[in-house]
């Protein structure tokens, strides 16, 4: 079946502009995660959605970052007033069950964000 | 906070040689450890998942071991092929659903 999809695959923006990144999880997966991969760094957890529960936003680096998940499916990560340090690959993942630590997370191809 | 380290950062070997990739973690209270493969422009592909109660997992030419007491995991790839060229990431699950990732080892297998 279809995997996790993300759009756009690449985004170049000017400093100070807002951007929206989209993630379509695997159908039927209740959990959705956003990670950020900066150059030379490991993946950094940003936010976690589980069904209709309040998301875990503990990884968001600043209040310029926000995310929502509509209808328990598609998610949008929004970065306001982008800064150059926001340049990174943003990865989305989904997993079948809620909070099942043993569940494999399936990753999308990522969105490469470049802030000029 | 869990810290995950991967050594070396990059590795180049001739085709046919066995690969040994190392991963260390600071908090031994993990639930499981996963190895992923990342190709340029693509997402992560899960290779092996080792539960905390297990010592190793095998899939084809891949074997991953886990030693919680020493905070180490090793990924072995036998008889490497040019198609194995990629970045390999290890990640641990501690007491929540978040994965803590290492920075990865970039492998080049020369034909």
Alpha-carbon gap, residue A75 to A82, rounded angstroms: 19
Chain A residues near any Cβ of chain B (below 8 Å): 3-4, 9, 31, 33, 35, 40-45, 48, 59, 91, 93, 99-102, 104-110
Widest Cα–Cα separation across chain A = 40
pLDDT of residue A112: 95
pLDDT of residue A102: 63
- Beta bridge mates, B88: B37, B105
Q: Pairing state of beta strands B86-93 and B105-110?
A: antiparallel
pLDDT at position B96 over 80:
no
**DSSP character at residue A56:** B
pLDDT of residue B98: 79
Q: Pairing state of beta strands A31-37 and A88-95?
A: antiparallel
Q: What SS3 string covers chain B? A: CCCEEEECCEEEEECCCCEEEEEEECCCCCCEEEEEEECCCCCEEEEEEEECCCCEEEECCEEEEEECCCCEEEEEECCCCHHHCEEEEEEEECCCCCEEECCCEEEEEEC
Q: Per residue in B75-87, pLDDT tens?
A: 999 999 999 999 9
Locate the chain B residue with the closest alpha carbon to A101: B97
Q: Average pLDDT in the B64-75 region?
A: 95
Size of interface A-B (CB pairs under 8 A): 60
3-state secondary structure of A70: helix
Cβ-nearest to A40 among B4, B89, B103 = B103
| Phi then psi dihedrals of residue A34, to 5 deg | -115, 135
Q: pLDDT of chain A along its 116 residues, tens only?
A: 589 999 999 999 999 999 999 999 999 898 999 999 988 677 899 999 988 788 888 899 999 999 999 887 899 999 999 999 999 999 999 988 755 656 788 899 999 999 99
């Amino acid at each position: 079946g279809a995997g996790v999809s993300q759009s756009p695959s690449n985004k170049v923006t000017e400093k100070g502009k807002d951007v929206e990144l989209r993630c379509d999880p695997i159908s039927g997966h209740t959990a959705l995660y956003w990670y950020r991969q900066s150059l030379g760094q490991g993946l950094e957890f940003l936010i976690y959605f589980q069904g209709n529960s309040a998301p875990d936003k503990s990884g968001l680096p600043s209040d310029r970052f926000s995310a929502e998940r509509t209808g328990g499916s598609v998610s949008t990560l929004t970065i306001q007033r982008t800064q150059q340090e926001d340049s990174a690959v943003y990865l989305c993942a989904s997993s079948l069950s809620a909070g099942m630590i043993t569940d494999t997370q399936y990753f999308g191809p990522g969105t490469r964000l470049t802030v000029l | 906070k869990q810290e995950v380290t991967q050594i070396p950062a990059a590795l180049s070997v001739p085709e046919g040689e066995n690969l040994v990739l190392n991963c260390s973690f600071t908090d031994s209270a993990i639930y499981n450890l996963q190895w992923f493969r990342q190709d340029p422009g693509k997402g992560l592909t899960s290779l092996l998942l080792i539960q905390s109660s297990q010592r190793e997992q095998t899939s084809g030419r891949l074997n991953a071991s886990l030693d919680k007491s020493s905070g180490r995991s090793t990924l072995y790839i036998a008889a490497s092929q040019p198609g194995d060229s990629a970045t390999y990431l290890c990640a641990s699950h501690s007491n929540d659903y978040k994965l803590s990732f290492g920075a990865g080892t970039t492998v080049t297998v020369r034909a």
